[in-house]
Chain A
Amino acid sequence: MIGVLLDGLVQGLQLALLGVGITLVYGLGGVLNLAHGQLAVVAGVTTALLIGAGFGRIPSAFLGLLGAGLAGVIIDRTLLLPAYRRRGEERLLLALILTLGLSFGVDGFLAYRYPSVALTLRLPVGAVVLAGVRVRTVSLAVAGLALLAFALLALFLKRTLLGKAVRSIIQNETGASLCGIDVGRTRTLIVGMSGLLAGLAGLSQGLFSNLGPEMGPEFTVLALIVAVVGGVRSLSGTVIAGLLLGLVNAVASFYVGTYLTWILLLLAALLTLLVRPEGLLAYWT
């Protein structure tokens, strides 16, 4: 049972990585990026291609992550510009359509160009025993990376002036401009960071099992579910939501079967929307 719970927490951290990326971009820009999952895939495919070309695994993973971050920056500075020129609901809807189109485009391109490229990362040691419990090293690696990412993010947002500027834009975009903060440039930085987080989630998938180019939409939906359940207002809420959903998923898979996964996760999102719809609507004004 402990093993199942630990597994659930680690999976939850991976879900949280996905959800936090979506929450950051929504909080800062008022847009939901439906191509978010493709950023995870970009990291995976880039890493796999580099490893296949003979590069070391760690440099490849690093470059894969950077690739995902860069892809985020490019999307923000090109595709999303028409959306940013509008406000509120119009901006949200236009961004949904644009990023949905992009996700189809990326999927199609990858299916055509790299149909069988998949990222599989194996660690030298399979499992270790900690306090009498057998823990897979993969779980430790993913947990370690995710926790490090969240710690750095929290430090950035709470302790640096730029991080406070990011939070200020989420709370009051006009006020932030009046303080001399370049909202557009800060937003680009955050979209890049959300790409890095998505990339890390993608690499985690490569560690757990394998990451294929077709997994983009699945990641996007998972990210959205976590963000919605956490309430897209709060980053800590999203992390907690990820952990809870990871636990639910692991326990259910273990006791009932993996076919329940999607049903449970979608049910959770549905219930949240029914009980607390204002979690999403609060940012529409």
Chain B
Amino acid sequence: MLRVEGVAVAYDGIPILRDVSLEVGRGEAVGVIGPNGAGKTTLLRTIASLVRPQAGSVSWDSLRLDLLSAHQVARRGVVYIPAERELFPQMTVLENLQLGSYPHPSGYPVRLAFIFDLFPRLAERRHQRAGTLSGGEQQMLAIARGVMMQPKLLLLDEPSTGLAPLLVAELYRQLGRLRDEGLTVLLAEQQVPRALEFCRRLYVLENGQVVLAGSPDDLLKNPALKRAYLGIA
């Protein structure tokens, strides 16, 4: 399980995360929602060890992630899919996926077949350079590459950003398949209805602090949340 305890992060003295704690159990799909600038991306980047917290700790089963470097965290199975995707633009779809298998190269053909079954569009474009793919395809490739790494925990940062609604629906269908097969997911999402539908539990982050936590039903009972995020009076 993932345990984030009392994490505080500041950039140039400006606090972004203040005393954030959360937990994600094995096989759970947990969401982090909140407005722009709430600190969702910073939280995920901190868990992935791209950012060092000034206070607090991040651990996966009893292993302290915040004491490791980013590539070590990734090798341990905590895989971060950033909103910027961070693909290798001059390399083909296939090569990007091959690099996903870098930490654990064995079983590559089986995993590749699974990925192509999940994302047939990537199979069609396997020899195309990643930089020439559409936004939606790049997002699929980023997630597919992450899944190639045999993640124990997938950290998804706003996967719906910049995608047309139909594509978002398709993406979440595939993510749902992965979730149903037992993948542990921590999802940061701006599109609150998607998050409420996908996740079993959610945390609401505002100004770098957790202000609400609970199941989708619990959160929907909260009038402030409904007003702020769903526009329902």
A contact residues vs B (CB 8 Å cutoff) = 161, 164-165, 167-168, 171-172, 174-183
Asked whether, in the complex, the Cβ of A180 is within 8 Å of the Cβ of B149, the reply is: yes
Asked whether, in the complex, the Cβ of A177 is within 8 Å of the Cβ of B71, the reply is: yes
How far is it, in angstroms, between the C-alpha of A221 and the C-alpha of B192 when the chains are bound?
58
Q: What are the residues of chain B within 8 A of A175 when measuring CB–CB?
A: 85-88
Q: What are the residues of chain B within 8 A of A180 when measuring CB–CB?
A: 71-72, 74-75, 102-103, 149
Asked whether, in the complex, the Cβ of B89 is within 8 Å of the Cβ of A178, the reply is: no
How far is it, in angstroms, between the C-alpha of A171 and the C-alpha of B75 when the chains are bound?
20
CB B232 to nearest CB in A, in angstroms, measures: 37
Asked whether, in the complex, the Cβ of A181 is within 8 Å of the Cβ of B91, the reply is: no
Total contacts A-B at CB 8 Å: 68
Asked whether, in the complex, the Cβ of B88 is within 8 Å of the Cβ of A172, the reply is: yes
Q: Which of A161, A172, A176 contacts B98 (CB 8 A)?
A: A161
Tell me which of A168, A175, A182 has the highest count of chain B C-beta atoms within 10 A of its own C-beta. A175
**B95 CB within 8 Å of chain A:** yes
Asked whether, in the complex, the Cβ of A164 is within 8 Å of the Cβ of B91, the reply is: yes
Q: What are the residues of chain B within 8 A of A176 when measuring CB–CB?
A: 71, 88, 99
**B187 CB within 8 Å of chain A:** no
Asked whether, in the complex, the Cβ of A178 is within 8 Å of the Cβ of B74, the reply is: yes
CB B164 to nearest CB in A, in angstroms, measures: 24
CB A170 to nearest CB in B, in angstroms, measures: 9
- The residue of chain B having its C-beta at the shortest distance from the C-beta of A167 within the complex is B91
Q: Which of B85, B87, B99 contacts A181 (CB 8 A)?
A: B99
CB contacts under 8 Å to A, within B66-121, are 69-72, 74-75, 79-80, 82, 85-91, 95, 98-103, 105
Q: Which of B85, B88, B149 contacts A167 (CB 8 A)?
A: B88
Sampled A-B contacts (5; CB under 8 Å): A161-B105, A167-B88, A172-B86, A176-B99, A180-B103
Asked whether, in the complex, the Cβ of A178 is within 8 Å of the Cβ of B102, the reply is: no
**B4 CB within 8 Å of chain A:** no
Q: Give the size range of B's interface with the partner.
A: 20 to 34
| Contacts A161-B105, A174-B50; A179 near B90 (Cβ below 8 A) | no
How far is it, in angstroms, between the C-alpha of A177 and the C-alpha of B91 when the chains are bound?
16
**B145 CB within 8 Å of chain A:** yes
- The residue of chain A having its C-beta at the shortest distance from the C-beta of B104 within the complex is A180
Asked whether, in the complex, the Cβ of A164 is within 8 Å of the Cβ of B95, the reply is: yes
How far is it, in angstroms, between the C-alpha of A179 and the C-alpha of B144 when the chains are bound?
12
CB B200 to nearest CB in A, in angstroms, measures: 26
Q: Which of A164, A165, A172, A183 contacts B87 (CB 8 A)?
A: A172
**B48 CB within 8 Å of chain A:** yes
Asked whether, in the complex, the Cβ of B89 is within 8 Å of the Cβ of A179, the reply is: no
Q: In the A-B complex, list the 10 residue pairs whose CB atoms are closest, starting with the nearest.
A: A175-B86, A180-B103, A180-B74, A180-B75, A177-B70, A171-B88, A177-B71, A168-B88, A179-B99, A174-B86
- The residue of chain A having its C-beta at the shortest distance from the C-beta of B75 within the complex is A180
How far is it, in angstroms, between the C-alpha of A121 and the C-alpha of B13 when the chains are bound?
62
Asked whether, in the complex, the Cβ of A165 is within 8 Å of the Cβ of B102, the reply is: yes
Q: What are the residues of chain A within 8 A of B80 when measuring CB–CB?
A: 178
Q: What are the residues of chain B within 8 A of A179 when measuring CB–CB?
A: 71, 74, 99-100, 102-103, 145, 149
- The residue of chain A having its C-beta at the shortest distance from the C-beta of B108 within the complex is A161
CB A130 to nearest CB in B, in angstroms, measures: 38
How far is it, in angstroms, between the C-alpha of A161 and the C-alpha of B105 when the chains are bound?
9
Asked whether, in the complex, the Cβ of A181 is within 8 Å of the Cβ of B71, the reply is: yes
| Contacts A161-B98, A172-B89; A178 near B103 (Cβ below 8 A) | no
Asked whether, in the complex, the Cβ of A181 is within 8 Å of the Cβ of B86, the reply is: no
Tell me which of A171, A177, A181 has the highest count of chain B C-beta atoms within 10 A of its own C-beta. A177
